[in-house]
């Protein structure tokens, strides 16, 4: 038996039943990383010795019959924009390539407290600004399904690590689709919970009103397991919500095993996706097939209109770049981060350090955001975008008043080839129309694999209302039960 | 069309340097971005309030409590230059 190919919840059961030891699990994953990661490049740094040492401690705990945390010794990858004490946190950038955080993010503390084992920090687009993981200072990550294509981004390393069985579970961040699109590209499940569900304390900010922590797993049950271990109110994060202190989501699996959750579910499909950006025909066929599964299982499907969806990519780009430009102001070469060697004045120190260390995409977005915040553009673009954002949120409120979930493709594109021109083109910004609406309105959303086209995975996005995360989990489980 | 001077002005605010070779391609990209985002102008937003936060229960204010998160040594561990337990920067006043 290859331990690494088990689902996380299967691994957990075997560890608890002492069928396999935690140390064996960790050793098997380290071996996998040593065999595969020189080519895939999912990790920026590894934590092998510490992981092995912890696994022994967990085995000891199990042997003594002590209580064991929710993550019971499972190997976990953490995106490298999440602060981890004593391990590098680089954000995939030259700016932070030597940065070691003096504290742990709340999510890292929660993983440790739940007996999860951090195997390493995963690769990402520089400062999470990208959708292919090709803008990383540490080189691109390859998609384990097909090494000629990208794993998606910006959490491409976390998605690839789960898809390649190098970790059982992983953490990403999602500002406009950075968990769901790589989950879709790598053929796994990715969940971006509602805004305020998971603490962002210690998560290096990109765009504050859009940033979320998200999770990856091989099926919905896996992703829910790690989601349960992370959610909850945190007073260290002012955007954390007390609504997140709800009952564990995994209760869905414990109650009524085998129940058909799709029966009677009210499903909305936005016509704007069909009218405005028709997907590749073969990709669309996969989506239509998945809808049929919902229909056959008793879901009621209705085509709805979300009129402001057609502006979502533009609204996202404006708000995101404005917040990015403001957040990136902290990298001045003084307290942390890259400092240029040559400068004569303080201004030169700032300019030289920032110019040397930021990549091209980061610079573009900083400048675009500065433009949209400066002078009259502030009202014309930034304030205007915030108003359209409200209209978009209200569109969704109307839909969710009479529907449980909204279904769409996670991305209308198949994973594209490495080094293709898509990564920096305006066309790639427009693709955010699929995933960014959930960030703009704070909705919970999941990407779940629904099939393949030419050997490449296709994902479906299940979106739910704010703090109705349980509903999208039920929809995901319902779909998995119907097709497996 | 964005002008050369506008780009250099924005770069100066953002504390970034754009080289002469970078300027042309950047202006082209910037024009594309402006053309892309300008489409939102067609949306009627009369009497619509901006939406800054989606959740209503966010605690925008924090109690003013003192608590030490990290030590002085830890705060200084990532800087390139320190002196007497402070970050060292260039002299900015005469």
pLDDT, tens digit, 9 for 90 and up, residues A201-240: 999 999 999 999 999 999 999 999 999 999 999 989 989 9
Q: Give me the residues of A, 240-269, that contact B with CB < 8 A.
A: 241-243
A85 has a chain B CB within 8 A of its CB: no
Question: Which chain A residue has its CA at the smallest distance from B71's CA?
Answer: A102
Q: Vertex A23, ends A21 and A27: CA angle to 5°?
A: 125
- Asked if A325 has any chain B CB less than 8 Å from its own CB, the reply is yes
Residue B9 lies in a domain: yes
Report strand pairing: A169-174 vs A75-79.
parallel
- Alpha helices of A194-311 — where are they, by DSSP H? 220-230, 251-254, 271-276, 281-296
Chain A CB within 8 Å of residue B62 CB: yes
Q: Which of B52, B55, B87 to mutate to test the interface with A (most CBs of A within 10 A)?
A: B55
Residues of the domain holding B20: 4-42
**DSSP letters along A293-346, please?**
HHHHTTPEEEEE--GGGGGHHHHHHHHHHHHHHHHGGG-SSSSSS---S--SSH
Of B26, B36, B74, nearest to A314 by CB-CB distance is: B36
Task: Quote the pLDDT of residue A251.
Answer: 80
B1 CB within 8 Å of a chain A CB:
no
Per DSSP (E only), the strands in A8-93 are 43-46, 75-79
Q: List the single residue in B with minimal CA-CA distance to A388.
A: B45
Are A292 and A257 spatial neighbours (Cβ–Cβ below 8 Å)?
A: no
Taking residues A155-177, what's their average pLDDT?
A: 98
Q: Is the pLDDT of residue A424 over 60?
A: no
Q: Please give the Cα distance from A148 to A233 (Å, whole number).
A: 41
Q: What share of chain B is helix, strand, coil (3-state, %, to 5)?
A: 40, 5, 55
Residue B15 belongs to a domain: yes
Residues on chain A touching B69 (C-beta within 8 angstroms) = 103
- Return phi, psi of residue A171, to 5°: -115, 140
Give me the residue from A100, A103, A442 closest to B55, CB to CB.
A442
Determine, yes or no, domain membership for B65. Answer: no
Question: How confident is the model over B15-42, as a mean pLDDT?
Answer: 93
* Domains of chain A with bracketed CATH: 1-484 (3.90.1300.10)
- pLDDT band at residue A258 under the 50/70/90 scheme: confident
A310-360 pLDDT per residue, tens: 999 999 999 999 999 999 999 999 999 999 999 999 999 999 999 999 999
Three-class SS of A403-436: CCEEEEECCCCCCCECCCHHHHCHHHHHCHHHHH
In the residue annotation, A170 being an active-site residue is answered as: no
Q: What's the rounded mean pLDDT across residues A400-414?
A: 96
Tell me which of A21, A72, A178, A229 is the catalytic residue: A178
| Contact state of B48 with A366 under an 8 Å Cβ cutoff | no
Q: For residue A256, what pLDDT is reported? A: 72
Res A7 pLDDT > 60? yes
Q: Does A330 touch chain B (CB under 8 A)?
A: no
Q: How far is A24 from chain B (nearest CA, A)?
A: 35
**Can you give the pLDDT at residue B59?**
66
Q: Which of A128, A28, A35, A135 is nearest to A74 (CA)?
A: A28
**What is residue A375's predicted lDDT score, i.e. its pLDDT?**
86
pLDDT at B5 over 90: yes
Is A335 close to B79, i.e. CB distance below 8 A? Answer: yes
Indicate the average pLDDT of chain A: 95
Mean pLDDT of B69-87: 93
Kindly report the pTM of this predicted structure.
0.97
Q: Does A312 touch chain B (CB under 8 A)?
A: no
Q: What is the CATH number of the domain that holds B16?
A: 1.10.20
Per-residue confidence (pLDDT) for residue A421, from 0 to 100: 65
Catalytic residue among A154, A321, A408, A447: A154
Interface contact A442-B54, CB threshold 8 A:
yes
Q: Is residue B36 part of a domain?
A: yes
**Residue A428 sits at the chain B interface (C-beta within 8 Å):** no
Q: How far apart are CA B53 and CA A205, in angstroms?
A: 16
Q: Check CB contact under 8 Å for B39 and A311.
A: yes
More confident residue, A281 or A275: A281
* pLDDT number for residue A448: 98
CB contact under 8 A, B75 and A318: no
Complex confidence, ipTM? 0.94
For residue B4, the chain A residues in CB contact (below 8 A) are: none
* pLDDT the model gives residue A422: 59
Give the model's confidence band at A142: pLDDT under 50 very low, under 70 low, under 90 confident, else very high: very high
Rounded to whole angstroms, the maximal C-alpha distance in chain B is: 57
Judged by a CB distance cut-off of 8 A, whether residue A376 touches chain B is no
Q: Given the DSSP bridges, would you call strands A212-217 and A189-192 parallel, antiparallel or unpaired?
A: antiparallel
For residue A253, pLDDT over 80 is answered with no
Yes or no, beta carbons of B62 and A100 under 8 Å apart: no
Percent of chain A with pLDDT over 70: 99
pLDDT on residue A278: 78
Q: How far is B76 from chain A (nearest CA, A)?
A: 7
Arithmetic mean of pLDDT, A399-422: 92
For A358, nearest residue in chain B (alpha carbons): B16
Q: Is A158 designated active site?
A: no
Backbone angles phi, psi at A142, to 5 degrees: -100, 150
Provide the pLDDT for residue A454: 96
- Tell whether A192 is within 8 A of chain B (Cβ): no
A:B CB pairs within 8 Å: 154
CB A11 within 8 A of CB A74: yes
Selected catalytic residue, list A14, A23, A32, A79? A79
Whether B59 maps to a domain, the answer reads: no
Instruction: State the smallest CA–CA distance between residue A6 and chain B in angstroms.
Output: 38
| Average pLDDT over every residue of A351-373 | 96
Does residue B83 fall inside a structural domain? no
The answer to the question of residue B51 being in a domain is: no
- A178 catalytic, yes or no? yes
Number of independent structural domains in chain B: 1
Q: Does residue B34 lie within any of the structural domains?
A: yes
Closest Cα in chain A to B32: A426
Q: What is the pLDDT of residue A452?
A: 97
Q: How much is the pLDDT for A423?
A: 52
Rounded to the nearest angstrom, the gap between the alpha carbon of residue B2 and the centroid of all alpha carbons in its chain is 20
A171 bridge partner residues = A78, A215
pLDDT digits (tens, 9 = 90+) for A42-89: 999 999 999 999 999 999 999 999 999 999 999 999 999 999 998 999
Asked if A326 is an interface residue toward chain B (Cβ–Cβ < 8 A), one would say no
Q: What integer is the mean pLDDT of A194-198?
A: 97
């Amino acid at each position: 038996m290859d331990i690494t190919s088990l689902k996380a919840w299967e691994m957990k059961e075997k560890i608890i039943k002492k069928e396999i030891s935690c140390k064996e699990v960790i050793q098997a994953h380290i071996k996998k990383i040593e065999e595969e990661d020189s080519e895939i490049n999912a990790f920026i740094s590894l934590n092998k010795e510490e992981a092995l040492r912890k696994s022994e401690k967990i085995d000891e705990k199990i042997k003594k019959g002590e209580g064991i945390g929710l993550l019971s010794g499972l190997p976990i990858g953490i995106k490298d924009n999440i602060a981890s004490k004593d391990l590098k946190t680089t954000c995939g950038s030259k700016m932070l390539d030597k940065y070691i955080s003096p504290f742990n993010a709340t999510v890292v503390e929660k993983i440790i407290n739940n007996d999860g084992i951090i195997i390493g920090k995963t690769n990402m687009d520089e400062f999470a600004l990208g959708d292919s993981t090709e803008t990383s200072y540490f080189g691109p990550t390859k998609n384990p399904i097909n090494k000629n294509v990208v794993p998606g981004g910006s959490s491409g390393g976390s998605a690839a690590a789960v898809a390649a069985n190098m970790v059982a579970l992983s953490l990403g961040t999602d500002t406009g689709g950075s968990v769901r699109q790589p989950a879709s590209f790598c053929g796994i499940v990715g969940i971006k919970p509602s805004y305020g569900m998971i603490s962002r304390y210690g998560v290096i900010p990109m765009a504050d009103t859009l940033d979320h922590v998200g999770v990856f797993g091989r099926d919905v049950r896996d992703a829910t397991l790690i989601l349960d271990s992370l959610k909850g109110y945190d007073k260290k994060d002012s955007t954390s919500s007390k609504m997140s202190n709800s009952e564990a989501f995994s209760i869905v699996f414990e109650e009524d095993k085998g129940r058909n959750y799709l029966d009677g579910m009210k499903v909305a499909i936005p016509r704007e996706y069909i009218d405005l950006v028709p997907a590749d025909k073969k990709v669309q066929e996969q989506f239509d097939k998945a809808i049929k599964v919902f229909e056959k299982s008793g879901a009621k499907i209705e085509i709805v209109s979300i009129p402001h969806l057609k502006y979502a990519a533009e609204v996202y780009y404006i708000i995101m770049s404005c917040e990015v430009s403001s957040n990136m102001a902290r990298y001045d070469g003084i307290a942390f981060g890259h400092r240029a060697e040559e400068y004569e004045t303080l201004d030169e120190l700032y300019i030289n350090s920032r110019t040397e260390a930021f990549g091209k995409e980061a610079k573009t977005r900083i400048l675009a955001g500065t433009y949209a915040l400066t002078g009259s553009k502030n009202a014309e673009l930034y304030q205007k975008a915030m108003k359209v954002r409200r209209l978009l949120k209200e569109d969704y409120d109307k839909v969710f008043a009479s529907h449980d979930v909204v279904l769409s493709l996670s991305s209308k594109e198949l994973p594209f080839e490495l080094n293709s021109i898509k990564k920096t083109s305006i066309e790639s910004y427009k693709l955010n129309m699929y995933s960014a609406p959930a960030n703009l309105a704070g909705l919970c959303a999941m990407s779940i694999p629904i099939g393949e086209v030419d050997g490449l995975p296709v994902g479906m996005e299940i979106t739910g209302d704010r703090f109705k995360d349980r509903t999208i989990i039920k929809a995901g489980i319902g779909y998995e039960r119907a097709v497996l | 069309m964005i002008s050369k001077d506008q780009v250099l002005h924005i770069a100066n605010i953002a504390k970034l340097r754009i080289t002469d070779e970078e300027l042309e391609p950047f202006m082209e990209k910037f024009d594309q971005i402006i053309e892309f985002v300008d489409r939102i102008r067609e949306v009627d937003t009369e009497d619509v309030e901006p939406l800054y936060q989606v959740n209503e229960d966010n605690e925008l204010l924090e109690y003013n409590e003192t608590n030490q998160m990290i030590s002085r040594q830890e705060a200084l561990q990532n800087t390139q230059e320190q002196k007497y337990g402070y970050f060292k920067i260039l002299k900015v006043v005469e």
